[in-house]
Every structure is written in C-alpha cells, then in structure tokens.
Copies of this chain bind each other. A is one copy, B any other.
Amino acid sequence: MTITLQQLDTPAAVIDTARMERNIARMQQRMNALGVRFRPHVKTAKCIEVARAQLAAGATGITVSTLKEAEQFFQAGIGDILYAVTIDPAKLPRALALIRKGCALTLVVDNPAAATALADFGRAHDCVFAVLIEVDTDGHRSGIGPEEEVLLEVAGILQRGGARVAGVMTHAGSSYELNTQEALAALAEQERAGCVRAAQRIRAAGIACDIVSVGSTPTALAAAALDGVTEVRAGVYVFFDLVMHNVGVCAPEDIALSVLATVIGHQPEKGWAILDAGWMAMSRDRGTAKQSHDFGYGLPCTIDGRPLTGYVLSGANQEHGILSAVHPEAVNQGEHIVTRFPIGARLRILPNHACATGAQYPQYLALSPDGALTRWERFHGW
C-alpha cells in the first residue's frame, strides 16, 4: 500500500528527492569544473541512501563528524572515510577497530598532545594512522594557524611512527555569517590560501603532505579557483536550509528537507494557528535570528512545497508550533487564520538548519516526483 503526504503521521521529516538530486548535481558539477575531488560531509543527513546518491554523482569518499557515523557508513559498504574532528585519544581503540576491519579511515589532529597520543597508540598497536592536520583559516573554531610553529611540531610528532601526515584540512565555518558573493569568494580564497600555505610549509620541512582539503557549503559554492586544493568538503548543500538561503547560496525552492505538520488548533484573536510541529520537530535552532531575514522556527509551505511567504512559525513549545502572519496588520486576523488554516490542514515547514532538524528524527520520508514515499533510516547518537 502506498501512503501519501495526506496520510503520513505528523510531524514527519520529508526529503524532496528531486531537489536533493539537483543540489547534489550542482555541487558535483562545480567541483568537477574546479578540478577537485569532492568528499561530502554526511553529518547533515546521517543517511545511507543520501550518501549513496552523493557517491553515485561522483563524490570520492565521505566526511563524518562522529565515529558512530564512520561505523555505520562503513558497515553499509562505504570504505573511504574522513573523521573530521580532532580525535579524542580515548576514541583511538574504536578508530583502530574500524581500520582493522578494512576501513580507509583518516583522522584529524590539531595539537601536539593529541598527535603524541595518536602516534604512541599507533606504534603500540602496529598501525600507521593516516592523519590530516587541521588548519585554522578563519579563527572560528579549531585548527592551527598556517604560520604557527606548532604546525611543524605536530607534523614532526606524527612522522615518528604510528602515524603519517596524509595532508591538511580546514573549514571556514565563519562563511555562515556572510551574505554577499564578494565576501564569500574572498573567504573561499582565504580558506584555500591558508590551507595551501600550511601544506607548503610542511612539504618544505621535508614531510609529504598530499591532501589539501577545504570547504564549507558557502565557500565551496563561491570559490573562483582552487589551485593547490585536492579535495573539497561540504554538508548542508545536500538539503540546503533557510540559513543557507540568507547566506545567499540557495533559493527556498532548493530546500529539500521539510517538516510535514498538521493544524491542531487556533487562537483566533492572536492570529495563531497551532501546529503539531514544535521545537522537537523543528529543533531549537534559531540560526536565522541574527541574519537578514528571521524565519522564526521555519517557513511554512503548502503541502506541495510552495512557500507561504506571508507566514512564519513564530513560536514553538515541545510539541506545539505557532504559525502566524509575518505582518499581522496586513491580513485579516481573527477568523482569517481559522479559515486559511483549518483543523487538519497540512503544511510543510522549511527548517532554519537542516543538520539540526534532521537530528530530531529516526527516519526520513523520501518523496519522489511521482508522489511515492520511501522510509530512509537515520543514525542517532554517538
């Protein structure tokens, strides 16, 4: 029996597969044109079917944010995995177990203590870990500055056995705070130049440094050239979201993830329709709050995906969402909201942040252009 969007239990996380495939093709074509490998960050979807679509389009391996993702994707047959968070030395036994099973797992460090623990553990277990040194190119999080002395110290520690410098990686996450093509292109160049410079310094010290890995969705889509870069990583582009729309790299019509919700009540004098999708369904992510357009907890769309730009998910309790007009004075309040959104009406809400919203669900419903729905499982936890 096939079910339809009208029959699904709500709330539900729906993937528009045509939009997803379009987003995947757009990014892969860009990477092909720039002459770099593409290693999608699968932390956004944590879903085998999504990763397979990315690989089928031409991606070379995947990037993960947890060892659980690495274990699950390896079990599903994906063997080339970058774990892109500086490794906690206590997690090395889990990493080693994956490598022993045949996984081509690459690790990341950004400090001498972790590098020493990793190399020591590798030597003690007769393993040579492939390691990227994380480079800080925009000051937003982790990594070693391209000109810092400790960069060569870490490279030297890794080369003493038990590990090897496979390359360098960086993530210009501050790109999420920008919103012009010029600023994004400039940050993409800064990300590229800083990471390439770090690789050059390591090579100049006589240590091989093959991989130069950069990326975030906005910089990947804005980069004019990627000389010296060997691979790019990006995650959220696969679904896009309202934060990315405000950054300027997608239209609402590109957003492939939405939350199907049902109207369960009203407060007519306040102009509210109450939905069965609150923050548990949307996540607590308010990433658009400080951007040019605040979308509250999400942008409502019709059940067939057309944005209702005059409305917003303006509030959220755990299982209640509050839908209201963006400009209440411009629409007839009171009965209007009741007749416009009657009890039982179904909507699809575009999320602020696809990575956070997806994490609220044990599964997605993949919606094909022909209306067919397929359950895709999603990983949860660590």
Q: A residues bordering B, Cβ < 8 Å?
A: 7, 9-12, 43, 65-66, 85-91, 94, 110-111, 113-114, 117, 136, 139, 141-142, 173, 262, 264-267, 270, 274, 276, 279-281, 283-286, 317-320, 322, 342-344, 353, 355-356, 359-363, 380-382
Contacts and interface: CB of A to CB of B under 8 A. Distances in A.
Given A280-B359, A284-B284, A85 B319 contact: yes
6 contacts: A65-B319, A89-B343, A114-B343, A283-B283, A318-B355, A361-B381
Given A89-B343, A343-B111, A380 B382 contact: no
A381 B113 CA distance: 39
A10 B355 contact: no
Contacts of A141: 274, 317, 320, 322
Contact of A86 (B265, B270, B381): B265
A83 to B, nearest CB: 10
B380 A362 contact: yes
A114 B355 contact: no
A265 B381 contact: no
Contacts of A173: 317
* Chain A contact surface mostly: loop
B343 A94 contact: no
Given A9-B382, A343-B113, A262 B90 contact: yes
A70 to B, nearest CB: 12
Nearest to A140: B317
Contact of A285 (B88, B284, B344, B362): B284
Residue from A11, A88, A139, A286 having most chain B Cβ neighbours under 10 A: A88
Given A113-B343, A113-B344, A274-B86, A320 B142 contact: yes
Nearest to A263: B88
Given A279-B356, A361-B381, 14 more contacts: A10-B88, A43-B318, A113-B343, A114-B264, A136-B267, A139-B270, A141-B274, A141-B317, A142-B320, A283-B283, A284-B285, A362-B380, A362-B381, A380-B380
Contact of A264 (B87, B139, B266, B320): B87
A34 B262 CA distance: 38
Contacts of A343: 89, 111, 113-114, 117
A362 B72 CA distance: 15
B114 A284 contact: no
A90 B3 CA distance: 14
Residue from A43, A320, A343 having most chain B Cβ neighbours under 10 A: A343
A241 B136 CA distance: 34
Given A355-B318, A363-B381, A380-B362, A344 B11 contact: no
